[in-house]
Amino acid sequence: MNILFVGLAVALGWGLRGEIGGEQGALIPGALLGLAIAIASGKKHWLEKAPVLGAGGALGMSLGGIQSYGILIGYTHGIDLLNVTYGYLSLAVVGGLWGAFCAGILGMVLSDRQKSLTFWALFLVAIYISAQISYFILIKVLKLLMTPPRVENWALVLGAVVALFVINFIQKEHKTCRLVLRGFFAGAIGFMFGELLQVLGRFLGPEFDWWKVMEISFGFVLGIGIAYAVFREYEEDKPIMNITPFFYVMAVFIILSFVPMITLHNLLERFEENQILIRNDTRWLDPYFNVMLRGIALTLISFTIYWKWFKETKVENTSLGQLQFFWLWTIWTNGWITQILIMIPKTSLFPVRIHAFFLFIMILISIWSILVKFPAPSFPSWLKPVQGYKWVVVSLLLVPILAILFAIMSLASHPGKPPDKLQRRFEWNTSSMQSQPSQEEQALEAYLSVLSTTRTTNNTVFL
């Protein structure tokens, strides 16, 4: 049940993220992932650092949002095994890198190793340099283009993941390193599985927004995969990363203010695109400015309430109370702001039904977190403690096998039936498969070519 709770939270976050898109939208599922893991862990020390887990999840998930994958989804709707398998494998890379970096950041937060401000500054520099080197070598030098003509930002994320893994491996933070690999596996399987549902639904199911089904399914599998990995690696209730008050305040700011304000900003941009919000050159008459100003005021009030309530008042179960406050605030600010997108005129009932589903999940996980006190996750006795990398690495071999299997299932859903706007990464050269023309055919073709040239010349002379 603990893992299911996390899976539902990330599924909701990914559904909401789909309404916004990009790295900004990915802040929502990341924050929900970190907070849900803290709630479902049943661990006292994790409850105390819930804002840090939430902020780490948000920032870790955000990086993957710079990747482009729309055209890859187009490949999986194709009619030949090569292109469809390529589409699934590419989605596995994008989803895997997404999950790997987020899981790695959570692992660094859950570590009990003291990390100074200098360490984090150098860590960010190393991440940036590694990302740029990776992009230069793979894209500029080797020309390994995965999503042409779209941006190839997957190479940047790959470089960041490699740097994160190497830094933690050097520091002998093997739990974090295994989380990176497990996060890659969860993200790869989740993205491929979600896309398989979209393909099957599009060609075999009723008319529906199957893209949204893909997003929610990806989030659910990614959530349960990372949650399982975290709970397996950290079974004991031990102190986690000790941070300075400055970092703690920054984590609280990210959860209470930064993430919802980014969501509100994107909402207003969507309203402006649909001409629901009309901008004004005069600042105090500009509706965008006024709404954002009230949003800032609301987040500052929430920050003040939190600080007064939990830092100056003696309350029983203070850690759990803090977490409930962060949890409900994150769900209902980001969820409610996104729900307002329903005001944009619709041409069908599908978006309305999807937003109703979001509302149902928001209510469900809110009540669930209030009424149920989660015990620490337990695993069967036959599951040995995690040691080494053997089984983690072996599990990654399932990714290409599942990619081929999903490709075959996708092709079976529409045999020989090309979809609208068919996307191909590779074009088949069918000329080599055709029989060579005979000498008579070659002579006839040459004669017709000469005859055509003669006629053209004569026409030119007469003109």
Query: pLDDT of 134-191, one tens digit each?
Result: 999 999 999 999 988 889 999 999 999 999 999 999 999 999 999 999 999 999 999 9
Q: How far apart are CA 258 and CA 269, in angstroms?
A: 17
pLDDT digits (tens, 9 = 90+) for 386-421: 677 888 888 888 999 999 999 999 999 988 777 777
Q: Which residues of 133-167 are buried (b: 16+ CB within 10 A; e: fewer)?
A: ebbeebbeeeeeebbeeeebbbbbbbbbbbbbbeb
Residue 456: the pLDDT is: 43
pTM for the model stands at: 0.87
Does residue 454 surpass a pLDDT of 70? Answer: no
In the predicted model, what is the mean pLDDT of residues 287-291?
A: 88
Q: How far apart are CA 31 and CA 68, in angstroms?
A: 22
Does residue 121 surpass a pLDDT of 50? Answer: yes
Q: How far apart are CA 292 and CA 339, in angstroms?
A: 17
Please calculate the CA angle 182-403-68 and round it to the nearest 5 degrees.
75
Does residue 92 surpass a pLDDT of 70? Answer: yes
Residue 229: the pLDDT is: 92
Return all residues near 417 (Cβ < 8 A) that are at least 6 apart: 79, 203
Residue 318: the pLDDT is: 63
Report the percentage of the chain scoring pLDDT > 70.
88
Does residue 316 surpass a pLDDT of 70? Answer: no
Domain range list for the chain: 2-242+355-419
Return all residues near 154 (Cβ < 8 A) that are at least 6 apart: 67, 68, 93, 94, 97, 146, 147
Residue 455: the pLDDT is: 42
Does residue 302 surpass a pLDDT of 90? Answer: no
**When comparing pLDDT for 240 and 407, which is higher?**
407
Residue 241: the pLDDT is: 78
Instruction: Note the Cα 66 to chain centre separation in Å.
Output: 10
Contact 54, 326 (CB under 8 A): yes
Scan for tokens 């969507």, then name that residue: 270
Residue 449: the pLDDT is: 55
Residue 169: the pLDDT is: 94
Q: Is 171 helix (H, G, I), strand (E, B) or coil?
A: coil
